[in-house]
Amino acid sequence: MDSIHLKKQATLKKKDIKKDFLSWTIAIPSIFLFAFFIWGPLLQNIIYSFSKTRNFDMIGFNGIQNYINVFSDPRFSQALGNTLLYVLYSLIIGFFIPIILALLISEVIKTKSLFKVGFYLPNIVPAIAVILTWKIMMDANDYGFFNILLAKVGLGTSRWISNDSLSIPLIIMTLTWKSAGATMLIYLATVQSVDHSLYEAARIKGLSVWKRLKYITIPALLPNIKLLLIIQIISVFQIFYEPMIFMGQTNNSANTLGLLIYKLIYTTQDTGQAAALGVLTMIILLLFTYVYLYFDKKTRMNQLKIKPYVTYEMLLEKIENRNQKKVYIFLNHLNHLLNKIMKSIYKALVFIRVIWIIDQFSKLMNYLFTYTKKYGLKIFESKKDGILTYSDYKKSSRRIGYYFMYFILIIGLIIVLMPFVWLFVTSFKNSNELLQSPANYTFFPSSFDFTKFITVIEKTQIMKNVYNSLFISLGAALCAILFNGLLAYVIAVLKPKGSKVIFYLILGSMLIPPAVALVPLYTNISSIYRVIASISGMSLRQVQSTFITLIPFWLIAGASPFFFLLFKTHFESLPKDLFEVAELEGATKLQTFFKIIVPLSKPVIMVVAIFSVTGAWNDFLLPYIMITNQDYWTVMIKLFRVHVEMFAYNITLDQFLSLLLFTMIPPMIIFFIFQKQITQNATTTGIK
């Protein structure tokens, strides 16, 4: 019996090994891409940092000399200080805006989709185009749009981005304008996922709006707040071309670590020092991540010790227990003292009749809302999410607050859309209209001449670059769907031994920006050209002078942690019975993927295709570094070069604005066609 049992075990073990082997066979191409474009460059970068280098070649061991050179370079301390300043300003300016927007939009009843789409729109526009638009708007001359606004209200003009002390906060303001909408959607999805009956029950139990926010909404948002905090810090460390475009390549006042790595490679050709700086940046980011994980783990352990709130009676009991604490008693006394001070101020205001004016205004508003109570309440009957309930809006003050909140959101939407409107109307102006003094400034052009677009397209010959970008975008979409989809299928559905290791490697690679491994990434992509050259018999220059120079950007999209996680999340939600039935029917693993999973995953496949196409269209960093032949420049490279060499292309500033608008049109068309899928994806990805 024992021998039969052992034979069965051995047979089962062989079957498991065979299954695992077949599973990993499917995943090998995808894993190779991740190793070639992400994991490998990170390890190679460490080796580079200890090597003597000549251009991109290692010629010997250099010990820690590269690190000594980094620390002794005065630009390092300046770039590190600037990068930390970017982080600080991003937390002050940009971190809380998406949270506030999410809380406000969650209360909107009829036009929620309008605000979601409006605030998300800047996220889809190419970053290069956004930066150049804001740079022109913040021009230090009198014809800069912001200076014209200041002059119109009787204030003095500003140097804006030309002022070194303002450059970093203004760059962060621009990036916040671009990215806040995407983060807002993630927070909004979390707020909307909270059961609305909890807010209703809290209202019945007598909890104020602030207490509902504190005890229900904020705890629900806290996991995303902590995660997006570390993601934002990592994103800020990736800032590279923004200060380069805003301030120029020779200005070091707004240098970041990423930009310094680029300058070390392409200005001084010191790739060893650049690699060492990349390793140091990676260590700093890992320290930030470790601190985040440490405190996150500590918070989770503390939460496990606390008995969870099952009923609102237990929630009220917690509030009563808190009231007994000495800290709370002290704060209570402080609150009483502040109330006395406020009463004194109130009496002083009454004496000078300010309160009487406010009181009369309040009575008028109450009269208006009481008179229209029946109509005013009607719009709130359909309210099924958000912190406030239908019953809350029976108070006229709450309805006044709702319309005031709506007014704030409209103002915010106008601020978000204003650069698009300004660019659209200004792109039709001629040079004389564009360079008007503030006193003679008119917002709209004298005529809308669409032939300007034809003229600027002919002068810059940008259609050739459009075809290049489309070629990259379509290939990138195909590779993103195929390779990331297959790897997600293996990890999420087949789950062979060792799949968790690959999953955590992919997850960890999201924490390291590609700029830190720019040197080995360049050499790896160059090696693709050399392999093709040796196979085809062409020279390296000939290979880089054909469409082959664009193919590596297809493959890079096949190693995307974001697309992988998107597929994995979707595949895990599919019914497991389907895979078991397919296996019983004798379907191979690839047949299961293409005949069962793919038809059930059309929505997520479409979303990945949209994001990969717009991402490839908007990409600038790697194509700018790798593509040397002008005939194969992408749209974003051409846009940047035209901006730098406007005189050489014989175009004026007003024509350049037309070119800017032209480059924004394709991703905006895709966004408006598929805006529902894009916004839904942003929310579901964030919440999961």
The two structure tokens encoding residue 160: 């804006």
Out of 214-228, 336-350, 517-531, which region has the weakest mean confidence (pLDDT)?
Answer: 336-350
Q: Residue 488 in contact with residue 571, Cβ under 8 Å?
A: yes
User: Tell me, what's the pLDDT at 252?
Assistant: 73
How many helices (H) and strands (E) in the chain?
36, 2
Q: How far apart are CA 620 and CA 493, in angstroms?
A: 35
In this prediction, residue 688 carries a pLDDT of 40
Interval 408-433 mean pLDDT: 90
Local confidence band at 331 (pLDDT 50, 70, 90 cut-offs): low
* pLDDT of 626 over the 90 cut: no
141: number of Cβ within 10 Å: 10
Question: Residue 379 above 90 pLDDT?
Answer: no
| Mean pLDDT lowest among 42-46, 155-159, 649-653 | 155-159
Residues 6+ apart with CB under 8 A from 433: 442, 445, 446, 654
Give the pLDDT confidence score for residue 217 in this predicted structure.
Answer: 84
Q: Select from 78, 82, 75, 80 the least CA-distant residue to 270.
A: 75
The reply to whether 76-269+409-426 and 457-687 are identical in fold is: yes
% of the chain with per-residue pLDDT over 90 = 13
Neighbours of 161 (CB within 10 A): 23
Which range is least confidently modeled, 380-384, 428-432, 442-446?
380-384
Task: Average the pLDDT over 592-598 and give the result.
Answer: 88
Looking at per-residue pLDDT, the higher value among 367 and 438 belongs to 438
Cβ-Cβ contacts under 8 Å for 448 (sequence gap 6 or more): 428
Contact status, residue 592 vs residue 579, Cβ threshold 8 Å: yes
d(CA 483, CA 467): 24
pLDDT value of residue 467: 93
Instruction: Assess whether pLDDT exceeds 50 at residue 232.
Output: yes
Higher per-residue confidence, 610 vs 489: 489
- At 159, list the tokens: 């140097």
According to DSSP, the residues that pair with 61 across neighbouring strands are 51
Quick check: 350 pLDDT over 70? no
Roughly how many angstroms between the first and final C-alpha of the chain, as a whole number?
Answer: 49
Return the C-alpha torsion angle 488, 493, 495, 500, nearest 10.
40
- Over residues 113-139, mean pLDDT: 88
Residue 40 in this model has a pLDDT that exceeds 60: yes
- Distance between CA atoms of 536 and 548, rounded to whole angstroms? 11
Using CB atoms within 10 Å of the CB of residue 11, give its burial: 0 to 12 exposed, 13 to 18 middle, 19+ buried.
exposed
| Ranges of H-type helices in 372-493 | 373-378, 396-426, 431-434, 451-460, 463-489
Confidence band of 417 (pLDDT split at 50, 70, 90): very high
Count of C-beta atoms within a 10 Å radius of residue 393: 21
Q: DSSP E strands: which ranges in 485-633?
A: none
Structure tokens at 434: 């564009």
The CA–CA distances, whole Å, from 462 to 65, 429, 434, 456 equal 45, 21, 23, 9
Q: Is the pLDDT of residue 260 over 80?
A: yes
Q: What single DSSP character describes residue 53?
A: E
**Does domain 457-687 bear CATH number 1.10.3720.10?**
yes
Distance of alpha carbon 455 from alpha carbon 560, whole angstroms: 38
Contact of 129 with 657, CB cutoff 8 Å: no
The average pLDDT across 522-547 equals 86
Phi, psi of 54 (to 5 degrees): -130, 110
Residue 309: the pLDDT is: 43
Assess contact for 162 and 170: CB atoms under 8 A.
no
Q: What is the mean pLDDT of residues 522-550?
A: 86
- The per-residue DSSP string of 144-161 comes to SHHHHHHHHTTPPP--GG
Q: What SS3 state is found at 111?
A: coil
Is residue 412 within 8 A of residue 119, CB to CB? The reply is: yes
Query: Is residue 686 classed as helix, strand or coil in its secondary structure?
Result: helix
Of the ranges 59-73, 205-219, 512-526, which is most confident? 59-73
Q: Are 52 and 272 in contact (CB under 8 A)?
A: yes
pLDDT band, very low/low/confident/very high, at 686 (cuts 50, 70, 90)? very low
Interstrand relation of 51-54 and 57-61 (parallel, antiparallel or unpaired): antiparallel
Mean pLDDT of 600-606: 84
Q: What ranges do the domains of the chain cover?
A: 76-269+409-426, 329-369, 457-687
Q: How far is Cα 467 from Cα 617, in angstroms, rounded to an integer?
A: 10
**pLDDT exceeding 70 applies to what percent of the chain?**
84
Place of tokens 């220059």: 541
Beta bridge partner(s), residue 53? 58
| Residue 12, pLDDT score | 56
Pairwise CA distance, residues 347 & 357, whole Å = 14
Asked whether the predicted pLDDT for residue 678 surpasses 70, the reply is: no
Looking at every residue in the chain, the average pLDDT score rounds to: 81
CATH number of 76-269+409-426: 1.10.3720.10
Check residue 594 and report its DSSP letter: I
DSSP for 354-380, written as a single string: HHHHHHHHHHHHHHHHHHTHHHHHHTT
Rg (the chain; Cα; Å): 29
- Residue closest to 560 by CA, chosen among 475, 484, 479, 477: 484
The pLDDT-based confidence of 30 (bands split at 50, 70, 90) is very high
**Helices within 249-353 (DSSP H only):** 257-266, 271-305, 312-323, 326-351
pLDDT, residue 214, reads 82
pLDDT reported for residue 321: 62
Q: Which two tokens stand for residue 601?
A: 């995953």
> Looking at the whole model, is its pTM more than 0.75?
yes
| Mean pLDDT lowest among 14-23, 334-343, 632-641 | 334-343
What pLDDT score does 486 carry?
A: 93
In the prediction, which pLDDT does 632 show?
92
Q: Which comes out higher in pLDDT, residue 243 or 12? A: 243
Quote the CA–CA distance of 619 and 637 in Å, as a whole number.
9
**pLDDT at 483 (0 to 100):** 94
Nearest-angstrom CA–CA distance, 159 and 167: 10
pLDDT at 308 over 50: no
**Is 158's pLDDT higher than 70?**
yes
Question: 12: number of CA atoms within 13 Å, CB side?
Answer: 6
Nearest of 103, 683, 124 to residue 408 by alpha carbon? 103
What integer pLDDT is reported at residue 374 of this predicted model? 54
The pLDDT of residue 633 is 92
The pLDDT value recorded for residue 218 is: 85
Mean pLDDT of the region 137-145 = 80
d(CA 599, CA 425): 44
Helix (H, G, I), strand (E, B) or coil at 52: strand
pLDDT (tens digit per residue) in 101-117: 988 888 888 788 889 88
Question: What is the residue whose two structure tokens read 């239908």?
Answer: 390
- More confident call, 534 vs 383: 534
Does the pLDDT value for residue 34 go beyond 90?
Answer: yes
